Structure 1
Amino acid sequence: MKNLKIDIVSDVMCPWCIIGYKNLETALAELKDEMSSDITWHPFELNPDMPLEGQDLNEHLQQKYSLTEEESARNRQNMADAGERAGFTFNFDGKRIMINSFDLHRLLMWAREEGKQTELKLAFFEAHFTDLKYLNQEDALLDVVEKVGLNKDTAREILHSDKYVQAVRQEQNNFKQMGITSVPTFIINDKYALTGGQPSESFIQALKQINEEEAKQDT
């Protein structure tokens, strides 16, 4: 059985990143008898200049993309529908904010070393998009960390230090130099790139093709 190395460049603030991942997860479950995978998440900041206090999400989207309220409502519905198909719930009922995600990426770098990176990433997505937690608030952030079984005190120490600052920036620069300017981007075996919140069927087709090409190269 072929084992695929899958690197996912993403931001917790990106709704299509969780949609894409959930569809990838479905595809990998469908192909479990043909291939296995090792997944690593890598940092990308949609809004690196966002202040710590964040910004109302609707206001942010209207400013950034010049969307009307009608267009925003249509986008929310499309996202909710795509999330439902992927098995993820977006909550649009309460006040939502866009935040600076740099500290989340630092904690995810630490969680990678602890073997809990995917668990923490998914917990961040759920906290932000489903539970509407303000992850720019330390207590809310640490609660999510504790929820997945990571040490809360260690996480607090990281937040109050410069640990993983250079590591996050280095990875961001590396992927930027590779030409990655949008997320999610899924890099398979350091050779193939898939972008966007694609449906599971597209992932299945692409992964099968990659698996076949890799098998030919091994013969």
Structure 2
Amino acid sequence: MTQSLKIDFVSDISCPWCAIGLSALEQALDKLQGEVAAELHFQPFELNPQMPPGGQDIGEHLAQKYGSTPEQQAEIRDTIRQRGADVGFSFNAGGRGRIYNTFDAHRLLHWAGLEAADRQPALKKALLVACHSHSQNMESHEVLLRAVEQAGLDVPRARAILASDEFAPEVREREAFYTRQGIHSVPAVIINDRHLISGGQPAAAFEQALRQIAAEQSAAQ
């Protein structure tokens, strides 16, 4: 009997491990077809909520935030590219020149979740590709609207949202909720509001965890 699982994927567009984690989760769910039916929701988390307009040089940002050297950053980029390749996600070989505020992207994702939930995953993936595969400016409304169009969503509606503060209170409330729940790093994958899987895990780890949760749910029915 197929088990239905609610999955809240708490993440930020600018997080490369979130792109890896989502791709791995999708691979795991493909393998679990017939065993698990996932109700997937994307929830907001901002790694850099105070990032000013225009963003920041990413090397400078990583050095300030984590104390990493250029050599360490290059090594981490190589690891991320390999982990991405393992799950079918392509990272720009040159990395990203700048890191940007992602609040508007989260507002669009919130809107998609409310008004076109079946298209929300497509929007999330289009935004991740724009950020990490193409190193685009993720505060640019033009970049965001292209992702909306690629996801098959209503571009004029999205443009109106971006021109206003619509969904800003709702996104901030959701961000605060997950912070209160103890989420301080992403991706954080929450199953049935109870089970937490942290980090950009390999597909096999997601598969094992989801199968175990589904089995426990089935036994309790």
TM-score w.r.t. length of structure 2: 0.95
Q: Deviations over 1:22-61 (max 9, x none)?
A: 1111111111121111100000000000002111112211
Q: Which segment drifts farther, 144-153 or 199-208?
A: 144-153
Q: Aligned residue for 1:107?
A: 108
SS at 2:43's partner residue? strand
User: In 2, distance between residues paired with 1:94 and 1:24?
Assistant: 23
Which amino acid counterpart does residue 160 of structure 1 have in structure 2? Answer: A
Q: Aligned residue for 1:133?
A: 136
Structure 1 residue 139, shift from structure 2 partner: 1.5
For residues 179-194 of structure 1, the aligned pairs below 5 Å read: 179-194=182-197
SS at 1:3's partner residue? strand
Structure 1 residue 92, shift from structure 2 partner: 3.1
- Quick check: 1:195 aligned with 2:198? yes
SS at 1:134's partner residue? coil
Per the alignment, do residues 12 and 217 of structure 1 end up closer, same or farther by CA in structure 2, a change over 3 Å counting? same
- Quick check: 1:176 aligned with 2:176? no
Structure 1 residue 95, shift from structure 2 partner: 5.0
Q: Deviations over 1:158-210 (max 9, x none)?
A: 11111101110111111111111110000101110100000011111111111
SS at 1:183's partner residue? coil
User: In 1, distance between residues paired with 2:95 and 2:89?
Assistant: 17
Q: Deviations over 1:89-143 (max 9, x none)?
A: 0003265211111110000011112221111000000001101211212212212
User: In 2, distance between residues paired with 1:206 and 1:29?
Assistant: 14
Per the alignment, do residues 95 and 28 of structure 1 end up closer, same or farther by CA in structure 2, a change over 3 Å counting? closer
RMSD: 1.1
Q: Aligned residue for 1:42?
A: 43
Structure 1 residue 72, shift from structure 2 partner: 0.7
Please, which runs of 5 or more residues in structure 2 have no aligned partner? Answer: none
Q: Aligned residue for 1:26?
A: 27
TM-score w.r.t. length of structure 1: 0.96
Q: Aligned residue for 1:144?
A: 147
Question: Percent same amino acid among aligned pairs?
Answer: 44
Q: Which segment drifts farther, 186-195 or 129-138?
A: 129-138
SS at 2:164's partner residue? coil
Which amino acid counterpart does residue 162 of structure 1 have in structure 2? Answer: D
User: In 2, distance between residues paired with 1:107 and 1:59?
Assistant: 28
User: In 1, distance between residues paired with 2:129 and 2:9?
Assistant: 18
Q: Give 4+ residue runs of structure 1 displaced > 6 Å after superposition.
A: none
